[in-house]
Every structure is written in structure tokens, then in C-alpha cells.
Chains A and B, each alone.
Chain A
Amino acid sequence: MKFLKIHQELVTGEIAEQMCKICPFGAISEKDGKLEIGMACRMCRVCVKNGSPGVITLEEEAQETVQKSLWKGIAVFAEQEAGVIHPVVYELLGKALELAAKSHQSVYVLLIGHRLADAVQELLHYGADKVFCYDSEELAEFRITPYVNAVEDFVKQIRPSVMMIGATVKGRSLAPRAAARFCTGLTADCTVLQIKENTDLVQIRPAFGGNIMAQIITPNSRPQFCTVRYKVFAAPERKEQGAGEAVYLRMKEEQYASSVRIVEKIEKPKEMDIADAEVIVAVGRGVKSQNDLRIIEELAEMLHAQIACTRPLIEAGWFDARKQIGLSGRTVKPKLILTIGISGSVQFVAGMKGADCVIAINEDPNAAIFDVAHYGFVGNLYELLPRFFEEMRGGRRDG
């Protein structure tokens, strides 16, 4: 256990003032010539590194250490709904295989639900050594208590070193409860994962709205829980031949009970607010006629994208006003926006410049949109898109 020690004998008025200033969190204060570290301290250790030498030092107190060799394996929680595996699971598996190869560990999958025989078989095509399954009627619907109980039972029996969970709505409920049950570390929304020889997981995640990256480890607790969002890692190719072993587990009868009752399930309409969309296909005046929107729709369907547009197309009556991006329309912040036949007026760009990735197709090489786009394609959409569809039909792959 590490802590900060203040060497008061070295503190002078000048040093005290300097130390108070150096703390980025304003956690150091001076009282009667003595320094104090308050609750705002985030243990960033800037005072140790950049402060007056020796005034504040990092000390370590011996503590009980976890025996890491007893915790082996990288486990992936396989979220499913009615037996359909959430695609983030395959992505987690891809990363798990990579981490396992580096640290000489096995890859496990934990599946919880009801009537999962097909899901188990499917998962065995993705390279895991073992798929563990709790299959029971009480687990058919996601209810937090029995699901956490199953994770607990699995962890106690299998003792994995790492537990990876998708940062979905369910994952964000399950991961923290399970981590708290073991009083172990949980790092949310990791964007980079690496592993050390000693099986310590190096977790990198954005903080402060992505303005800062933090590298986090869980040096003395197991398992190491982390969540990862959908579409961060790459899914491995599905293997023709399934391999690995399916293991069905049962927990104690009382562990299956839940006091939560599902009254009703309401499917969400597909039509959603473009401001919430992760992928947007935006169209502008480069699209010549309303009939041509069919190819745009085809593209949007392929990318699971929402369609949005510029102001002129609203004025032309092609779209509902809620679909407009720009100063007088909606502001969007999707992961990907594809702009098609949009020149990129200041007003339009103001509504979409927060997008993580901008891909633009436009005929005019001088269009302002190319200053904003990460990937610009100077070309005619009526030629490029049909070619793209051909390409997709030719070399189609699942997913």
C-alpha cells in the first residue's frame, strides 16, 4: 500500500507556498507552518515528482499480496439476448486470444441465460479453450441478482485472472456489481489492453470526456475486471471447425432467485433521433433527385446508419426537419459520419465537427468538406457507390 508522507521539518514558508501551487487538484494546504494533504488528492504524485525535493515522498507499506499464480485465464462474459450473442463478445474474444497468447493463459467464455445450446456451439468457433454455461429458465431474462451470482460462482470455481465484459447497458450493470462483490478493481471503457508477464492487465481508458488518457493497473487484486465498448476491438475470423470444450455449470438453487419482475418489454422503434446515432449517412445537394435516395438508403442499411441531410434538402421537402444537421438543425456526434454530395458550409460543419470520423464523397476537389474529412473521396457518387455495392456483393463476409 502506497501513501504520501510529508516531511514537515523541511517545510519553510516559501516551500509551503510552492507545494500548495504545484498540486493540480488544490489538495495541498498550509496551516500553522505545516502542510496538509486534503481529500481532493488524487495521488497523481506531481508533488513528489515536481515539488521541492524530499518534502513529500511516496512511501510503501508492506501488505498482504494476492498469489497471482492461483488466478489463471482470460474470461469473456458473453452477453446474449434470446440466445443471440451480442457482437461485442466476439471483439472481446479477439482481444482475449491476443492477451492469452502473450501471457500463456487460456481463454474462457462465460455464458449465462436459457436455451443456449446453439450459442455455446457458435462460440466454440472463435478460438476459446472452454465455454462455461449457466443455462436455466430463471436466467432467461437479464436480472441482476442471479446474473451476478452466476459470475461469482464462475469466478470462485474457475479463478480467472481477467474478466472482460462489454460496456453495454447490461455489462455496465453487471461488471460493477461483480467487481464490488470481490472488492476488486474495475476499469470501465478501456480502449487499449495489454498484459504483463505476471498477468497484470494494463488498461488504458479515456477520462475527462476523452481529453486525457489514463493507464490503470490492478496490481494486487484478482480477478481484474474491465469493460470495453462495442466496436473498439476487432473480432477474430469465425473458424470452420468448432474447437474447445463446453462445460455446463450449476450454482446453488437459491442463487437463481430474483425479486425483480419483468412487467413488459417494449421494442424500440427503429426511427431514432439523429443526435443519438453512432453512424450517420448525411446527404446534400450532390444528390440529384429524390429517387436517388434509394442508393443512400441501401448504404445506410448496410452500415446500420441513420440518414441525415443539409438544409437545402429540407427546403426541397425531401426530409423531415428533424433530420437536418447544422446550426439551424441538429448537432450530432457520431462515431462515423459519411457525407455524400455535401460541400461543407460553415453552418453544416458546425453541427457535425464533433464526429470521431468523417468520410466525405464529393465531386469538387476544392469543397470545404475536405478540410474537415479524415478521409475524402473526390469522385462522383453515382459511380462510386454502385461500384462499392458491387464490391460488397463480390467479397461479402458475415457480420
Chain B
Amino acid sequence: MKILVCIKQVPGTTAVEVDEKTGVLKRDGVESKMNPFDLYAIEQALCLRETYGGSVEVITMGPEQAKMVLQEAVYMGADRGILISDRRFAGADVVATSYTLSQGIQKSGTYDLILCGKQTTDGDTAQVGPETAEFLKIEHVSNVLQVVEVKKDGIIVLENQEMQVRKLCLPLPCLLTIEKDANTPRLPSLKRKMEKTEQKVEVIGLDDFSDQDPKHYGLAGSPTQVERIFPPEKNTDRQVFEGSSTELAERFTQILKQKKYI
């Protein structure tokens, strides 16, 4: 079974602030790390390889330094990493990112199964996985708790809905996004770090794709546009009410109604 895991490098912290006057992001350093949600997808992939054999590859899109997360995945046990990098991909929104990924995936190989984390910690959208599946024209299931079994005619997974868990059977190839805490991700292996695994990361760009029209990528290929960024309003209001229990109960009811809890 050939498995590909899509991963992403995200800022090391979400504790960023916006300078209200200039609209500039203020970050503490530029430390980055692997999107924590992706670790569950990698772990799921490695478990499947242990059971069914095959290979696990990881792919990411980003600048040169995003190689770090591919490297980390290789240390965890992935066989190969692919970095999609090209300055013409800069400024990509969800659609452009998903399209780029789908092109990169098609260039990199033929896979039975593509796994993604449920969402990222920087964008929080949980949309790139399903959009990528759409561009690849394959089925997908989001919020997968567990891959139960891989059979000849398909894969059986548990999908985590709000009120119920559905056991689904779908054909391969397909794409799954793996739920947080679905498993316990292993740590990168020191032994693999010591081995020379550097050469296992490969870089591809627009010139390697089947669709080389730059208008379909990066900012040009992005239908959405960020008009501005600004800090959220902080709710520092604290109200303390005193009075008769009738008055308090009325106010209590009013607040809960206002917040739409009753």
C-alpha cells in the first residue's frame, strides 16, 4: 500500500499580535514546527505500513525551510519527503494551495491512500484536505478516528460526527483527514536521525507540474483576498450584579438568552 501524508509547517506559537497602527504581525521569533494535527496522520500511516506493508511518503508545500518538517517525518519513519516549493506559489489561499498540492501529488506518484491532519493551527480551516480530494477526483472522509481495516474492495474507517460515529467503507484511492488524538504519535527516532536520511527529501516546483499556467497558482490563483488583519476586540468587561433574587434571575435569564443558550 502506497500512502502519502500531507503535512504543513506552522508557526511555533499562535501567540501572535497585530500592531494596531501598522497592521503588522508581531511574532516572537520565527520559530516553526510541524502542524501538531499532522502527527496523528503520520502515525496512522506508519501503523498501516506496519500491518499491510508498502511505503509512507510525506509532502508539504512551503519555502525551503519547510524541509524541516519533512525531515522530522522521515525521522519518525517516513520513507521519503517531497517539498513543493516555487516562488510563484506565494500568497496562495485554500483553493490555490489545494490545487498546487493536487498537482504536486500527481507528479510525485500514484498513491492508494492520502492522509491529512484534521486542520492546521495557523489557518484552522480544515478545508485543504477535502479540496485536494476534489481536485484529485477521489472520495474523502473528514474527521477519521481510526482506519479499521484495509480490504481488497476498499478501506473501512470510523468517521467522527457530532452525534454519532459512522463506520464507512470506501474504495481506494481516497483521502482521509485524521482526527486529533486518534492515536499516540511516535517520537522521531534518534537512530534514523544519525543515519544519513538527508537525501530522502526531494524538491519539485511549477516546472514539474502538468499544469504550468502560473495564473492557477499563488496569489493569482487565489479567489479570496485578505483585505486587512486586525487584533480581536478584547472583552475585558466584567459585570457584577447584586440585588434581589428576582432581579438577579431576570438578568441571568436575559444574559443566557442573549448568548443563545436558552
Contact = CB atoms under 8 A, between A and B. Distances in A.
Contacts of B127: 172, 175-176, 179, 186, 188
Contact of A211 (B16, B129, B220, B261): B16
A39 B126 contact: no
Contacts of B167: 262-266
B224 A177 contact: no
B226 interface: yes
Interface in A306-364: 336, 357, 359, 361
B47 interface: no
B130 to A, nearest CB: 4
Contacts of B63: 27, 38-40
Contacts of B239: 374-376
Contacts of B124: 188-189, 206-207, 209
Contact of A383 (B123, B139, B224, B245): B245
Given A388-B249, A391-B250, A302 B90 contact: no
Interface residues of A, number: 98
A31 to B, nearest CB: 12
A391 B11 CA distance: 49
B187 interface: no
Residue from B91, B122, B133 whose CB has the most chain A CB atoms within 10 Å: B91
Given A39-B63, A50-B24, A388-B253, A261 B169 contact: yes
A180 B136 CA distance: 11
Interface string A176-188: 1101110111111
Interface residues of B, number: 97
Contact of B253 (A213, A374, A391): A391
B125 A263 contact: no
Given A208-B16, A211-B17, A392-B262, A176 B226 contact: no
A390 B249 CA distance: 9
Contacts, number: 285
Contacts of A220: 223
Q: Interface on chain A toward B: helix, strand, loop, or mixed SS? A: mixed
A267 B163 contact: yes
A244 interface: no
B229 A44 contact: yes
Contacts of A391: 249-250, 253
A39 B22 contact: no
Contact of B240 (A42, A176, A231, A370): A370
Contact of B241 (A36, A186, A264, A377): A377
Contacts of A175: 127
Given A46-B23, A211-B14, A374 B229 contact: no
Interface string A141-165: 0001100100000000000000000
Given A2-B219, A176-B94, A214 B226 contact: yes
A144 B240 contact: no
Interface stretch (B69-77, B81-89, B106-114, B194-202): B81-89
A374 B87 contact: no
A61 to B, nearest CB: 8
Contact of B251 (A3, A185, A377): A377
Query: 3 closest pairs, A vs B, by CB?
Result: A387-B249, A209-B14, A185-B223
Interface of A: 1-3, 24-27, 36-44, 46, 49-50, 81, 144-145, 148, 168-170, 172-173, 175-177, 179-181, 183-189, 202, 206-221, 231, 234-235, 259-268, 279, 302-304, 336, 357, 359, 361, 365, 370-371, 373-380, 383-385, 387-388, 390-392
